[in-house]
A and B are shown apart, each in its own frame.
Chain A
Amino acid sequence: MIRRRRWAMTAGGILTVAIAVAAAGAPFLAPNAPHVQFEDRLFAPPMPLHVRGHSGLAAPFVYRQVLEDRVGRRFRADVNTPVPVRWFSGGHLVSVPSGQEPLLILGADSLGRDLFSRLLFGARRSLAVALAGVAGALVIGALVGGFAGSQGGRTESTLMWFSDFLLALPGAYLVLVLRGLLPPVLSDWEIFLLLASLFALTAWPHAARGVRSIVSVERARDYAEAARALGAGPFRQFLHLLPAARGFLAIEVVLLVPALLVAEATVSYLGLGFPAASASWGTLLQDAANVTALTEAPWLLAPAASLFLVTLGLHLVNPERPETSPRV
């Protein structure tokens, strides 16, 4: 088990860092603004970068897209006019000269917006809400689990009964019902905070359970006994015992982030998360989830592929059995 992990952890680490960098650098890496709708580019296919032209190798260039049939949404690459791409111009890594726009690396969505740019900006929103949710879940989980474990007795059994109760509920249902009961139209920020807190509220029992079992083992150790003998109160005991759960909490991050990314995707896909105009992986999936879109514009599956790559990367990074723990 441990054997296969070395190369796997390297691969997973590279994948995870690459996606984090892509999300962080979205304004620089994205050729277009995520909300701009390009005329006559509805469902336009991806524009591959070419390096081989009519006369051998050339600097990277793209072919202009020409709309051939508006109803059938058929596009043709104009192979007679290669457009050289510009690097580091206008604050973007890669772009095309003005007048030749747009550069659609991954194609366009149903409203003619650049899918690649939306994917990058969506990664920011989705990853940020998942990380905020994980942070909240770990804080609540460490407090509840640590307190239960360091106290023992009735406090422990009551708190753990409650967390087991929440654990038995399907997380997605819980988030949907709670979200559905709140006002449907909220600003982007309010949705962000709301989703992050709902995710924290549904995910904390996973953390609490592990912290509790680590801390309650630790409570029997000599140093804990010594602290109690010196008259340490419940709070001080909690502070002494909690650091034992550090490693567990670190692994919990790796497990909960993919779970919450999927939760964001599900909730936003169903129309209860971020508004459709704000790019997130969930709202991007709304375009992909019908048979016509999938057959005519398979590039719309790009957000699903990104979600898969993040999950795979984080599973590979984890030194312990990552894929064996069902989450949320």
Chain B
Amino acid sequence: MARSALAGLIVRRCAAAVAFVMIVACTAFLLVRLAPGDAVTDLQIRVADPEVIAATRARLGLDQPLATQFGRWLVGLAHFDLGQSSTFGRPVTSLVAARLLNTAQLAGLALVLATCVGLPLGVMSGARPDSWLAKSVTAVSLVIAACPPIIATLILLWVAVMTGWLSVKPGSVALPVIALAAPVAAMLERLQSQSSAEAAHSTSVLAAAARGIPSSRLTWIHATRQSLRPVVGVYGVVVATLFSGSIAVETITDWPGLGRLTLEAVQGRDLFLVSGCALAGAVLIAASNLAADLLRLAIDPRLRSAA
């Protein structure tokens, strides 16, 4: 009974994720199509020959009515064919897939790094808020939380050039990942610290302490089990934040990710490429939100029984 309700919940979340992706991709397609100018506008300014322009329009399918274009694109989508990019002259699917993997790698590594650094430090500083270690962690977190990725990248770049501690060559992964992860790690540390401090005073931890459970076990297992809930709750927003931040990081460090591709696509009015980028980004976000939802179900039995 409860099991089928849980399965139903998971199925509903998956359906919502698919709907999210479709809405984002379709909106992007229609927005680009309805915005002034198309992929031929640039050509019109450079080449005045109407025949060339008409031929290019026909080749790109821009002479068809909106409904036909949209329908064709949807049919293609069902075959994982996202059309041809007008700026790169290559199939959108392969272009977007490569860039999506790069951005996913950047954001994924940043998320892992931020979690591995931020959460343990947060548990520690929340458990003993008066120790000098906790106070210095808090101060450092406050400073780093005020460094958004665009600033963190510039400062790290400067430090890297001055000291040579990090490679600044294009394609080196450490600098962009650290720059993207730093503010998120600081944010997770603060959140976890507050949550841990609250959990340490809860009745269940008090009861466990009364049973004679050692204090390190209380901090790291008993209190952490309940204090993780608010932190996992913000993971959906964290993913969106990482994505937003990745645009600046990718541009400054020359990382060939989805952000830069989207920028080029929008500027070139590359209809299929913009839609493809939107689709890819939406897939990544929907997948991570779904993962965060499932994680929340896994760690919080109350949510499972509510289903």
From residue A162, how far is it (CB to closest CB) to chain B in Å?
Answer: 11
**Is there contact, CB below 8 Å, between A168 and B161?**
no
Chain B residues whose CB sits within 8 angstroms of the CB of A169 once the complex forms:
24, 240, 285
From residue A43, how far is it (CB to closest CB) to chain B in Å?
Answer: 15
Chain A residues whose CB sits within 8 angstroms of the CB of B238 once the complex forms:
326
**Is there contact, CB below 8 Å, between A181 and B31?**
yes
**Is there contact, CB below 8 Å, between A170 and B154?**
no
Chain B residues whose CB sits within 8 angstroms of the CB of A291 once the complex forms:
157, 161, 168
Which of A165, A265, A324, A328 interacts with B23 by CB under 8 Å?
A165
Binds B, one of A65-73, A111-119, A225-233, A303-311: A303-311
The CA of A272 and the CA of B162, in the complex, are separated in Å by 30
Which of A285, A307, A323 interacts with B187 by CB under 8 Å?
A323
**Is there contact, CB below 8 Å, between A183 and B36?**
yes
Decide if the interface of chain A is mainly helix, strand, loop or mixed.
helix
Q: Which of A180, A270, A291, A295 has the most CB of B within 10 A?
A: A180
Chain A residues whose CB sits within 8 angstroms of the CB of B87 once the complex forms:
none
Chain A residues whose CB sits within 8 angstroms of the CB of B285 once the complex forms:
168-170
From residue A275, how far is it (CB to closest CB) to chain B in Å?
Answer: 16
Total A-B Cβ pairs within 8 A: 139
**Is there contact, CB below 8 Å, between A289 and B244?**
no
Given contacts A168-B20, A183-B36, A294-B157, contact A323 B141 (CB under 8 A): yes
Q: Mark B242-285, 1 if CB is under 8 A from A, else 0.
A: 01110110011000000100110011010000100010010001
**Is there contact, CB below 8 Å, between B161 and A304?**
no
Binds B, one of A122-130, A147-155, A171-179, A237-245: A171-179
**Is there contact, CB below 8 Å, between A308 and B147?**
yes
Q: Which of A269, A311, A323 has the most CB of B within 10 A?
A: A323
Which of A171, A177, A262 interacts with B150 by CB under 8 Å?
A262
Given contacts A168-B240, A266-B247, A324-B194, contact A312 B146 (CB under 8 A): yes
**Is there contact, CB below 8 Å, between A285 and B28?**
no
Chain A residues whose CB sits within 8 angstroms of the CB of B36 once the complex forms:
182-183
Asked if B197 lies at the interface with its beta carbon under 8 angstroms from chain A, I say yes
The CA of A295 and the CA of B158, in the complex, are separated in Å by 7
From residue B293, how far is it (CB to closest CB) to chain A in Å?
Answer: 12
Asked if B78 lies at the interface with its beta carbon under 8 angstroms from chain A, I say no
**Is there contact, CB below 8 Å, between A1 and B194?**
yes
**Is there contact, CB below 8 Å, between A170 and B241?**
yes
From 117 to 147 in chain B, residues with beta carbon under 8 angstroms from any chain A beta carbon are 138, 141-143, 145-147
The CA of A272 and the CA of B259, in the complex, are separated in Å by 14
**Is there contact, CB below 8 Å, between A323 and B262?**
no
Q: Mark A306-321, 1 if CB is under 8 A from B, else 0.
A: 0110011001100001
From residue A274, how far is it (CB to closest CB) to chain B in Å?
Answer: 16
**Is there contact, CB below 8 Å, between B158 and A324?**
no
The CA of A17 and the CA of B269, in the complex, are separated in Å by 43
Chain A residues whose CB sits within 8 angstroms of the CB of B154 once the complex forms:
285, 288-289, 294, 301, 304
Asked if B9 lies at the interface with its beta carbon under 8 angstroms from chain A, I say no
Chain B residues whose CB sits within 8 angstroms of the CB of A182 once the complex forms:
35-36
**Is there contact, CB below 8 Å, between A167 and B237?**
yes
The CA of A311 and the CA of B142, in the complex, are separated in Å by 10
Given contacts A266-B247, A326-B234, A326-B237, contact A165 B20 (CB under 8 A): yes
The CA of A270 and the CA of B251, in the complex, are separated in Å by 8
Decide if the interface of chain B is mainly helix, strand, loop or mixed.
helix
Asked if A48 lies at the interface with its beta carbon under 8 angstroms from chain B, I say no
Counting chain A residues whose Cβ lies within 8 A of the other chain, the interface size class is 35 or more
From residue A239, how far is it (CB to closest CB) to chain B in Å?
Answer: 31
Asked if B236 lies at the interface with its beta carbon under 8 angstroms from chain A, I say yes
From residue A38, how far is it (CB to closest CB) to chain B in Å?
Answer: 25
Chain A residues whose CB sits within 8 angstroms of the CB of B141 once the complex forms:
323
- Nearest residue (CB) in A for B266 is A180
**Is there contact, CB below 8 Å, between A321 and B158?**
no
Asked if A25 lies at the interface with its beta carbon under 8 angstroms from chain B, I say no
The CA of A315 and the CA of B138, in the complex, are separated in Å by 13
Given contacts A168-B20, A285-B154, A326-B234, contact A321 B191 (CB under 8 A): yes
Which of A1, A181, A323 interacts with B145 by CB under 8 Å?
A323
From 256 to 279 in chain A, residues with beta carbon under 8 angstroms from any chain B beta carbon are 258, 262, 265-266, 269-270, 272
**Is there contact, CB below 8 Å, between A326 and B259?**
no
**Is there contact, CB below 8 Å, between B247 and A172?**
yes
Asked if A53 lies at the interface with its beta carbon under 8 angstroms from chain B, I say no
5 A-B residue pairs with CB within 8 Å: A1-B194, A167-B240, A295-B162, A321-B191, A323-B145
The 9 closest A-B pairs by CB, nearest first: A180-B266, A170-B243, A172-B244, A323-B145, A181-B35, A312-B146, A311-B146, A170-B244, A324-B191
Please give the residue numbers on chain A whose beta carbons come within 8 Å of chain B beta carbons, in ascending order. 1, 4, 165, 167-173, 176-178, 180-184, 258, 262, 265-266, 269-270, 272, 285, 288-289, 291, 294-295, 298, 301, 304, 307-308, 311-312, 315-316, 321, 323-324, 326-328
User: Apart from A308-B151, A328-B244, what 7 extra A-B contacts exist at CB < 8 Å?
Assistant: A1-B194, A171-B240, A177-B266, A182-B36, A315-B146, A316-B142, A323-B190
